[in-house]
Amino acid sequence: MNLSGIDLAIVILFMLFSLTIGIVVAKRAGKSSSEYFLSGRHMPWWLLGVSMVATTFSTDTPNLVTDFVRSDGVAGNWRWWAFLLTGMLTVFVYAKLWRRAGLTTDVQFYELRYSGKPAAFLRGFRAAYMSFVYSIITQAAVSLAAIKIGQVMLGLEPWQTLLIGGGITAIYSMLGGLRGVLYADFFQFIIAMCGSIGAAYVALGHPEVGGLSNLLANERVQSQMSLLPDFSNLDLAMGIFIIPLAVQWWSVWYPGSEPGGGSYVAQRTLAAKNERHAMGANLLFTVAHYALRPWPWIIVALCSIIVFPDLPSLQAAFPNMSPDRVKNDLAYSAMLTYLPVGLRGIVVASLVAAYMSTVSTQLNLVSSYVTTDLYKRFMDPDADERRLVLVGRIMTVLLVVLSSLLALTLSHSIQAFQILLQIGAGTGLIFILRWFWWRINAFSEIVGMAVAFLVAIYFHFVHERMLGLPPLEAWQVLLIGVAITTVGWIAATMLTRPTDERILRRFYRIVRPGGPGWQRVRSEALRDGEDLDAGKTAGWDVPVGIICMLVGCAAVYGALFATGSWIYGRYTHAIVLTIVAVVSAIALMFLWQRLQTQAADEDARFDPGDLMPTAPEGRFRGDPTKSDELT
């Protein structure tokens, strides 16, 4: 597809605009590592929330959704819709806990919560894993989608796409830090939404589709429209619905949907002004992520079933495309080739925006890990702020290079999705319980991560290829991985020494998690004359938070499926689901007010910085989670 002069101008202007943002805020971002990685912890909820939505609006997301719809129907999206439960739990339970912790990165948590050399090892290992495994795989998946878009829409070679897109993103991320990323994300999200809606409108107008009514009347499309799987096909139902809702959402660590929060969700939460802004940012992100964005992508995917009914038709349309990259996820990019002049430039710019928002977030996040949790923690504790920012900027460039190399070896989006799911299978429950059960220790997480990784290696490289055993369904592999990993980390927890008592008490004073899981620690402290709940103004609010989570899920699922029912013309279902969404939203407003009031009281009466330990002179000076209790 050739771009007109107008289209090219739109794309170039958008890229220059993103670059300009990085240049404008570069001076302020370079003042300190806190400014560079957390924007000074003064960001409002709406900017942080939109940024998280933009980050998850990556180039590969519409491709992945298209792959799901063409392979397993609209119901195939339950593979990620199930993570709504995780998101809502983060909103109403974990967001405030992260903000109270007052950390720079989420992996700093390990030396705040655990003790001794195992905690230090875990912090360093997790930082390295997040930097050189998880983030590179994630960025490679995004880059793979960019490669396909570049080939289909612009006729670019893979290396050209990665050089242009990765280069510009690296520059403004390197210069502007998190503040530059947040500002760019805001505008990129607007462009991305306009592009996806415009793409859906044009797809419906394709001559072979003939509008919405003809789309819904098409036999091939009707078989893919259901919002729920065919339960007579048990393997399919288990894989895309039952296991995701029953097991996956709480047991699997997946980027953007981490049980207990984590990675860039935790980073945005830590950058919020206070607990109320942290909760508001996560709520905006969760609602927009699941209720606002999916249907334009789904409509394009359904239209593609008519225009490109199978893989041979895609290959015939793009004969220059390497056959190993002609998969169902290519159909989204293929549909965009029919865009008219003008809108074509906007949509291409929206895809560039989606790519930039995700990659820039990963770049800033990983540079924070390398700088704070590896370089300063283990290599140069005395590094000044200028050097820390410099290390972060160097890491930004290195990560772009490594992820681009991996992207050239991948073939389709589900490949990376399944790899990430399996690597994190079984570890999610640790991330949920570590805040509320004192007995979880560093070995729980070390063993959990190691076992999950080994199980993933076994099923991807040993089970079939080396042992010649019959292949298993993806849900079976996931379930086995969760079971083995859970048994492993529970055994490690009970067979190893608990975290040092002083560290547990310090963690409780700072984060104030409450609940029966900390009763033993509170009781021991009282016997020593120390009241860990002194100064706390509200009771344990987790039960209310769980109720909010359930009501919030009802509101979002109701809105998501009401939208689908209105589109499908199923008006009775649409009315009922709309009522469910509205009633749930009203109920959530009252419950939200109660949680917000408690958060406001805590913000007004308690400063986590008052209890943050001061680092001693010596090796660990400058690490806010390192105190004399740990040396």
| pLDDT per residue as tens digits for the range 192-235 | 888 889 999 999 999 999 999 999 999 999 999 999 999 999 88
In a domain, 274, yes or no: yes
> What is the pLDDT, as a whole number, of residue 602?
56
Q: Could you give the CA distance from residue 190 to residue 182 in angstroms, rounded to a whole number? A: 13
Mean residue pLDDT of the chain comes to 85
d(CA 489, CA 430): 8
Same domain, 88 and 212: yes
Residues in the chain, total: 631
The reply to whether 475 falls in a domain is: yes
Q: 88 and 14, same structural domain?
A: yes
**Which pLDDT belongs to residue 151?**
76
Residue finishing a domain among 423, 448, 463: 423
Give CA–CA dist 535/542, Å, rounded.
18
- One-letter amino acid at 273 equals K
Q: What is the pLDDT of residues 457-498, one digit of tens each?
A: 888 788 888 888 888 888 898 899 899 999 999 999 999 999
In this structure, the answer to whether residues 321 and 445 fall within a common structural domain is no
Q: Are 421 and 248 in contact (CB under 8 A)?
A: yes
Q: DSSP letters along 333-389, please? A: HHHGGGPPTTHHHHHHHHHHHHHHHHHHHHHHHHHHIIIIIIIIIII-TT--HHHHH
Q: Is 359 part of a structural domain of the chain?
A: yes
Q: 3 near 344, Cβ under 8 Å?
A: yes
**Same domain, yes or no, for 170 and 294?**
yes
Domain residue limits at 491? 437-499
Rounding to the nearest 10 degrees, give the CA dihedral for residues 249, 253, 255, 258.
60
The answer to whether position 631 is within a domain reads no
Instruction: Tell me if residue 283 falls in helix, strand or coil.
Output: helix
CA 227 to chain centre: 23
Facing residues of 252 across strands? 425
Helix (H, G, I), strand (E, B) or coil at 435: coil
CATH number at residue 331: 1.20.1730.10
Residue after which a domain boundary falls, among 370, 400, 423: 423
DSSP-assigned letters across all residues of 30-67: TT-HHHHHHGGG-B-HHHHHHHHHHHHS-THHHHHHHH
Residue 129 backbone phi and psi in degrees, to 5: -65, -45
pLDDT on residue 419: 67
121 and 44, same structural domain? yes
Residues 127 and 158 in one domain: yes
Residues 418 and 444 in one domain: no
Q: Judge if 415 and 465 occupy the same domain.
A: no
Distance from C-alpha of 27 to C-alpha of 565, rounded to nearest angstrom? 50
Q: What is the pLDDT of residues 375-397, one digit of tens each?
A: 999 988 888 888 888 888 888 78
pLDDT at 415 over 60: no
Shared-domain flag, residues 148 and 219: yes
Span 615-625, average pLDDT? 38
Q: Mind listing the pLDDT tens digit for each residue in 93-151?
A: 999 999 999 998 999 999 999 999 999 999 999 898 888 877 777 777 778 777 877 77
Domain count, the chain: 3
Residue 516 lies in a domain: no
Higher pLDDT pick, 625 / 122:
122
Question: Which of 390, 423, 456 is the last residue in one of the domains?
Answer: 423
Residues 174 and 89: their CA atoms lie apart, in Å, by: 33
Q: Are 448 and 488 in contact (CB under 8 A)?
A: yes
Please enumerate in sequence order all residues whose Cβ is within 8 A of that of 310, keeping only pairs 6 or more positions apart, or say none: none
Name the residue with higher pLDDT: 247 or 14.
Answer: 247
Same domain, 444 and 385: no
Q: Kindly state whether residue 624 falls inside one of the protein's structural domains.
A: no
Q: By percentage, how much of the chain surpasses pLDDT 90? A: 44
Phi first, then psi: give them for residue 326, nearest 5 degrees: -85, 90
* 529 within a domain of the structure (yes/no): no
The verdict on residue 325 lying in a domain is yes
**In this structure, are 478 and 331 located in the same domain?**
no
- Residues 408 and 480 occupy one common structural domain: no
Half-sphere exposure of 499 (CA within 13 A, CB side): 30
Q: Kindly state the average pLDDT of the residues 557-583.
A: 96
**What are 454's two structure tokens?**
């080994």
